[in-house]
């Protein structure tokens, strides 16, 4: 059966949409001829499914079960696998408020349902699905829900439901996407699906699922005597079973720490703390004489740090007094307190920038940097992962390409010189507000995906008897998250050291991937060193690619001194450099 389709005037792409700058797409898979997803709406009494590209499908479904049946049988929605050992993406059906009501769902969840993250048990739509032999995952019918039947052979029978009125598209990641007309939203989500992957939950969930989609846990093995192929472990993947973390890698509240006294505060020699920078210092007299403080921000810092980094894939091995090997990922207990660096720079070994006071646990990139600086290290013990690989390289490449292509849609390209780039960045989001939303979603996918590697239970820590479902995932890997953040912090410190060595200029505040420098002029080119028009090798480089920097914001030195006098010397100027608005004490939020 073929769906009834038309191109309607009300299904045009947004007038502000920039032309697609990606290379020519491969031949369309006929199974997914209408795209990865559809936004279903009700207009003039008719149910219509808006697909990317302006196609509108007439939808005969009268109930949610029949909508699922129609999606799988007629709509030709979905996307091909990203890896030959993976699986095709399930079709996504996005329901507007009108469509949700049409299919018997509430336009909004109650407060109790919103806290639970799902529709209440006993709702008539749940009964309809059950009678039609459709199943839901343990998460139930929430903002993002999988509706499925058991697989038929190798074919998945599954539809992903996205309910806009239930805050499926979080405004922190998707801006005002949920308020867009259905055709515009279909175009926006379709662009994200083509460049990243078909969304299957929040941007954080999608970022984590992208890792698995690019490195599936299994692959088809050699045929047995009967000619049948069986699944086997796919080398380079995280496998199908969860891997235990080392005790110092466990976050507070983890079941591994249940033996500790209540309210016990672990010390640096008990816990691995690899977090992004949050450091600031007072300005010197010479720095106060400069007119401005200028913030620069590293593009896609966590993605850039993930690229080329070797991560553990299997179980940790506990060893005593091992020689340090920078090629082996793991967690090392080592004393770096003897390393004294310039106090005008944050220490590379702690997120606060304070010098370590004794032995502490560090990820491999942090200890390797101490060796790079010329200092000796003598680990006391370590949890090492001999089974390892560059697990996130493909993930980085996919997100890098998505980011660069979307920036090009906004008028910012890789071939620009520093001045041209800074000029193009001025107001680039206004060039195409729709693509600006896609850009925000891509960046949220990076940060959320890395954060999801150490997902915590709702409400904070774990208590006996309380479920912690994330621990059952092979992708619950706090050690991988720690290595990424360690590498990002070290990359930042290395560039700051290089800048200081050549120019004598030091940052006065660093927050994650943003550094603030005193400057005589209002822009990055007024203090970043260039020689013969070229950036300093190994230092900060202005440009669009991940790892390069952009202008975050500029304020006057008078502003900097004023807010510090009002809120205290510990105020991190990098937190407010963008707009200068300090609404209260610097509490780290």
φ and ψ at residue 525, rounded to 5 degrees? -70, -10
Alpha carbons 402 and 409: distance in angstroms, whole number: 11
pTM of the model: 0.92
What's the pLDDT at 15? 37
What's the pLDDT at 154? 61
Return the sign of the alpha-carbon dihedral for residues 524, 526, 530, 536: negative
Q: How far apart, in Å, do the first and last CA atoms of the chain sit?
A: 53
Alpha carbons 291 and 205: distance in angstroms, whole number: 44
Please identify every stretch of the chain with a pLDDT value under 50, giving residue numbers as ranges: 1-25, 587-589
At 371-392, the pLDDT tens digits run: 999 999 999 999 999 999 999 9
HSE-up of residue 64 (Cα within 13 Å, Cβ side): 33
Alpha carbons 15 and 12: distance in angstroms, whole number: 8
- Alpha carbon 543 to chain centroid, angstroms: 21
Q: Tell me the residue ranges of DSSP E strands in 214-329.
A: 218-220, 231-233, 278-280, 292-298, 311-312, 317-320
Distant-in-sequence, close-in-space partners of 153: CB < 8 Å, separation ≥ 6: none
- Alpha carbon 6 to chain centroid, angstroms: 36
The residue length of the chain stands at: 589
At 516-559, the pLDDT tens digits run: 999 999 999 999 977 666 778 889 999 999 999 999 999 999 99
Report the DSSP pairing between strands 92-95 and 155-163.
Answer: parallel
SS3 (DSSP) at 175: coil
Distant-in-sequence, close-in-space partners of 512: CB < 8 Å, separation ≥ 6: 276, 277, 278, 301
Strand (E) or helix (H) holding 142:
none
Closest CA to 310 of 360, 349, 245, 368: 368
φ and ψ at residue 305, rounded to 5 degrees? -70, -30
Alpha carbons 221 and 229: distance in angstroms, whole number: 6
Distant-in-sequence, close-in-space partners of 55: CB < 8 Å, separation ≥ 6: 5, 6, 7, 11, 34, 35
Given a contact cutoff of 8 angstroms between Cβ atoms, the answer to whether 2 and 74 are in contact is yes
Report the DSSP pairing between strands 509-511 and 278-280.
Answer: antiparallel
What's the pLDDT at 68? 97
What's the pLDDT at 26? 54
């Amino acid at each position: 059966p073929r769906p009834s389709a038309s191109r309607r005037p009300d299904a045009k792409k947004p007038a502000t949409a920039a032309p697609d700058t990606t290379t020519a797409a491969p031949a369309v898979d006929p199974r997914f001829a209408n795209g990865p997803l559809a936004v279903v709406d009700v207009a003039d009494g008719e149910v219509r499914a808006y697909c990317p590209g302006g196609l509108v499908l007439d939808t005969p479904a009268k109930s949610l079960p029949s909508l699922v049946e129609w999606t799988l049988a007629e709509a030709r929605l979905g996307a091909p696998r990203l890896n030959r050992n993976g699986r095709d993406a399930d079709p996504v059906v996005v329901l507007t408020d009108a469509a949700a009501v049409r299919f018997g769902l509430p336009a909004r969840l109650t407060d109790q349902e919103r806290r639970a993250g799902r529709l209440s048990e006993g709702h008539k739509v749940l009964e309809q699905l059950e009678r039609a032999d459709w199943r839901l995952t343990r998460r139930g019918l929430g903002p993002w829900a999988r509706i499925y039947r058991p697989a038929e052979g190798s074919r998945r029978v599954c539809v992903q439901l996205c309910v806009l009125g239930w805050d499926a598209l979080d405004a922190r990641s998707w801006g005002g996407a949920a308020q867009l007309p259905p055709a515009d939203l279909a175009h926006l989500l379709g662009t994200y699906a083509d460049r990243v992957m078909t969304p299957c939950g929040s941007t954080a969930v999608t970022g984590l699922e992208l890792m698995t989609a690019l490195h599936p846990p299994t692959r088809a093995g050699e045929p047995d005597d009967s000619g049948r192929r069986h699944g086997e472990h796919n080398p380079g993947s995280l496998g199908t079973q969860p891997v235990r973390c080392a005790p110092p890698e466990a976050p507070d509240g983890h079941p591994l720490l249940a033996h500790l006294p209540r309210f016990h505060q672990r010390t640096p020699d008990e816990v691995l703390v690899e977090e992004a920078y949050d450091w600031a210092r007072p300005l010197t007299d010479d720095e106060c004489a400069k007119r401005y403080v200028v913030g620069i921000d590293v593009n896609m810092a966590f993605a850039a740090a993930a690229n080329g980094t070797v991560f553990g894939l299997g179980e940790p091995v506990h060893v005593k007094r091992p020689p340090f090997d920078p090629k082996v990922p793991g967690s090392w207990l080592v004393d770096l307190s003897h390393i004294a660096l310039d106090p005008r720079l944050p220490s590379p070994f702690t997120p606060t920038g304070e010098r370590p006071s004794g032995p502490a646990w560090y990820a491999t990139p942090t200890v390797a940097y101490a060796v790079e600086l010329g200092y000796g290290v003598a680990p006391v013990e370590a949890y090492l992962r001999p089974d390892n690989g560059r697990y996130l390289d493909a993930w980085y490449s996919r997100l890098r390409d998505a980011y660069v292509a979307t920036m090009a849609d906004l008028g910012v390209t890789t071939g620009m010189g520093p001045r041209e780039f800074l000029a193009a960045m001025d107001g680039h989001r206004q060039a195409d507000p729709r693509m600006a939303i896609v850009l925000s979603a891509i960046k949220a996918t990076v940060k959320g995906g890395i954060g999801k590697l150490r997902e915590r239970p709702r409400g904070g820590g774990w208590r006996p008897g309380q479920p912690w479902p994330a621990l059952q995932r092979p992708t619950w890997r706090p050690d991988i998250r720690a290595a990424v953040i360690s590498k990002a912090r070290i990359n930042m410190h290395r560039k700051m050291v290089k800048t200081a060595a050549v120019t004598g200029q030091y940052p006065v505040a660093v927050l994650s991937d943003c550094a603030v420098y005193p400057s005589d002029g209002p822009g990055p080119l007024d203090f970043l060193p260039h020689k013969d028009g070229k950036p300093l090798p190994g230092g900060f480089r202005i440009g669009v690619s991940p790892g390069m920097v952009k202008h975050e914001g500029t304020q006057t030195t008078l502003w900097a001194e004023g807010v510090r006098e009002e809120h205290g010397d510990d105020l991190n100027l990098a937190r407010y450099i963008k707009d200068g608005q300090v609404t209260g004490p610097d509490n780290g939020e």
